[in-house]
Structure 1
Amino acid sequence: MVAHAVAAEIGLVLYEHCQAAMVHGMTDLLGVASTFSADRGGPIIRISHWSKARDGTFSRTFDTHEALPGKPAILVVPGRLTGPPDADESAPYARWLLDRHAQGTTLASNCGGAFLLAATGLLSGRRATTHWLFADQLRDRFPEILVDADKIVIEDGDIITAAGLMAWTDLGLRLIDRVLGPTIMVETGKFWLIDPAGREQRHFSSFSPRLTHGDETILKVQHWLQARAVRHLTLADMAAQAQLEERTFQRRFKSATGLKPIEYVQHLRVGKARELLEFTRRTVDQIAWSVGYEDPAAFRRIFSRIQGLTPGEYRTRFSSGAELRIMA
């Protein structure tokens, strides 16, 4: 038997009454994608299930690679049909998820699983989605979250949320695209009879920052930047946040993330700009200013370099409706 490299581990977090169809369906979906990738000579996904024991510890209760050390690159929290978990039930899971996130794990949720992510505090000030039936409840319990129940999936770097029930298929395809690439994602979608149309924007991929590099100092700066990238930032600001000399910070940041600090900020800003181009009527100049660029011409150059499209072309292709397609 040929051994294939593991691209990443994706773990599913089990809790009482969580949606079994999503857990087993996602496991099968990722497994099919791994098979297609392996058939092409590519890497596969390690799939695991995680459960909380009576003593409060968490461990794998299912694993496709039991003898393999490591930790999940992505943890996914499913929803459940009986309604979102309350604060007391969420607390131990939130503490564990927060700890995993601090170590570089990307967190994702489907349906009412957003409530467990919300309990970590990581969604504060960020956009998130859940089942439309639970949207008002999520807003009431966590008013600091920008709840957008119109979206099927909201991908925001280190946090991904998906809407209700069968939206796990959309989430699964996003994860496959992120880990194994768009070709395997499309092939998997066709096999599952999930229409990949509308997911082609992933060919103009959202920025997926490298978070599992093991440099805790740089990881903390990445988390800090996620909420502040649209503000005026200098290299000195970032180095000060890391408590490192500027040259040392630049070297460690590039080694950990694969990008220079300023390049990384540009990717974060373009990600925010894509969202505004898709879902608002703001002009390109207004969007440039709102994501931290005083010079709209410079913004257009950077956006085109990163996305391969001008802001106007991007809006024409990917805006949420024809009425938003305002050329710039």
Structure 2
Amino acid sequence: MRPIIAEIGLVLYPDCQLSAIYGLTDLFRIAGDMAQSVDGDRSPAIRVSHWHQENGEIVCVQDSHPDPDHALTHIITPPSLILPDHMRPMPEFAGWMTDLHGKGATLCSVCAGAFLLAETGLLQGREATTHWAFAQTLASRFPAVQIDADRMLIDDGDIITAGGILAWTDLGLTLVERLLGPSVMLNTARFLLIDPPGRTQQPYGRFIPRLTHGDAAILAVQHWLQATDAKVHGVPDMARRAGLEERTFLRRFRKATGLRPTEYAQQVRIAKAREALELTRRPVEQIAWQVGYDDPSAFRKLFQRVTGLAPHAYRQRFGVAARQDAGSTEAA
């Protein structure tokens, strides 16, 4: 029996897009087959389950690895076949997802699935994306969500949102890379004849926080740091947030996450800076200030230590704007 690396739950809410449900199911199976072709039965497998509401309860109706015991690590809300204006509130699903997020599950949405994800309240103060045609409706219904409909996928660690109706392929490949590695992701994309997500081809790893360690007090601090971009990251503040004495907090945080609290906060902030360098032309000094560093020189040193590249070199290599500029030069 191959080891299960993750269980991904797909939400079968009313009028959801079944092509996304079954497309993701197939994508994860193909990715598992790709991994097995290289490493055999030592390779990990992704368990995929489908969840439906019956009589007020959320129940599993399909399972790639049938077992009454579930350990959901990811939840995906797919696109809808009806316009968001006609989507009814789904408090049972929202409550179920909130509970799982509190236990360490990563929540994901595609297109109009962001409306169900937003019902949890966990998108408040965070960036999220959805289909461009639904952005205004999402903003009016959930004004605390920072919506960026120009982006196809926003990976915020414990919450991932994808934009277009077919962006389930971007989300699926992003999760495959996270769980099975970039080589399996690229082989899966080639087999399916779909483009890999632009950022997933970068040779430098992303900060992937540990969220399934089971320490609820530390998990609450992790969610708080992610939601606030780690702007406030003093150990006393974190310890108070966790309700722990500082020495106990430091020990438990390191055990749960593998990092000291200040290192963890730095990773969160550098991840935000990397995103800004990739997607904007804002000056490095401005980005440094926006992610919480008053000294641009200190920011540059830290950025290079974390990513292996200076901010300017990182932008030249991976920035969307830099590639656009290069394309314009070649066309001329």
TM-score (normalised: structure 1): 0.93
Q: How far did 1:294 drift?
A: 2.2
Once the two structures are TM-superposed, the CA of residue 227 in structure 1 deviates from its matched residue by 2.4
Aligned Cα root-mean-square deviation (Å)? 2.0
1:300-311 equivalences under 5 Å are 300-311=300-311
1:187-212 deviation per Cα after TM superposition (whole angstroms, max 9, x unaligned) = 10000001237244443233221111
CA–CA distance in structure 2, aligned partners of residues 81 and 315 of structure 1: 38
Indicate which of 6, 14, 17 corresponds to 2:15: 17
Query: In the alignment, what sits opposite 1:133?
Result: 133
> How far 1:278 sits from its partner (Å)?
2.2
Structure 1 distance, partners of 2:44, 2:126, is: 32
SS of the aligned residue for 1:29 comes to helix
Contact 1:201 1:318 in 2 (8 A): no
Partner of 1:203: 203
Alignment of structure 1 residues 107-256 onto 2, 5 Å: 107-196=107-196, 198-256=198-256
Question: 1:252 and 1:230, CA in 2 relative to 1: closer, same or farther beyond 3 A?
Answer: closer
Summarize the alignment of residues 53-68 of structure 1 with structure 2, pairs less than 5 Å apart: 53-54=54-55, 56-67=56-67
* Residue number in structure 2 paired with 1:51: 52
Could you give the per-residue CA deviations for residues 55-76 of structure 1, whole angstroms, max 9, x where no partner exists? Answer: x111211111112733211100
1:87: how far off? 7.1
Deviations 1:117-137 (A, max 9, x none): 111111111111111221111
Residues 3-36 of structure 1, C-alpha deviations (whole Å, 9 max, x = no match): 2111111110111110010000000000000111
3-state DSSP of counterpart to 2:210: coil
Higher mean Cα deviation, 6-15 or 222-231?
A: 222-231
Cα 1:228–1:126 change in 2 (3 A) is closer
Q: Which amino acid aligns with 1:242?
A: A
Question: Is the contact made by 2:280 and 2:321 (CA closer than 8 Å) also made in structure 1?
Answer: no
Runs of 4 or more off by more than 6 Å in structure 1?
none
For 1:235-291, what per-residue CA distance to the aligned partner results, in whole angstroms no more than 9, with x for missing partners? 121112112222211111111111111111011001111122123332112211211
For 2:238, what is the secondary structure of its paired residue?
A: helix
Cα pair distance change 1:202/1:210, threshold 3 Å: farther
Q: Which ranges of structure 1 fall in alignment gaps of 5 or more residues? A: none
Please tell me the residue identity of whatever aligns with 1:152.
M
State the alpha-carbon separation in 1 of the partners of residues 324 and 248 from structure 2.
44
Q: CA deviation at 1:313?
A: 1.4
Report the equivalent of 1:34. Answer: 32
C-alpha change, 1:202 and 1:51, in structure 2 (3 Å) is farther
Instruction: Tell which deviates more after alignment, 198-207 or 310-319.
Output: 198-207
Answer whether contact 1:115 1:138 (CA < 8 A) is retained: yes
Deviations 1:42-95 (A, max 9, x none): 2110111111111x1112111111127332111000011212276743322211
One-letter amino acid matched to 1:63: D
Aligned length: 323
Structure 1 contact 280–324 (Cα < 8 Å) conserved: no
Asked if structure 2 preserves the Cα contact closer than 8 Å seen for 1:47 and 1:63, the reply is yes
Question: Alignment partner of 1:321: what SS?
Answer: helix
| Greater alpha carbon shift after TM alignment, 249-258 vs 202-211 | 202-211
- Mean alpha-carbon deviation: is it higher for 57-66 or for 25-34? 57-66
- Please state how far the C-alpha of 1:108 moved relative to its aligned partner: 0.2
Q: Secondary structure at the match of 1:203?
A: coil
Contact 1:128 1:147 in 2 (8 A): yes
Q: Structure 1's 146 and 229: CA in aligned 2 closer, same or farther, altered over 3 A?
A: closer
* Alpha-carbon distance change, 93 to 204 in structure 1, aligned in 2, over 3 angstroms: same
Q: Is the 8 A contact 2:315 2:322 kept in 1?
A: no
Displacement of 1:317:
2.2
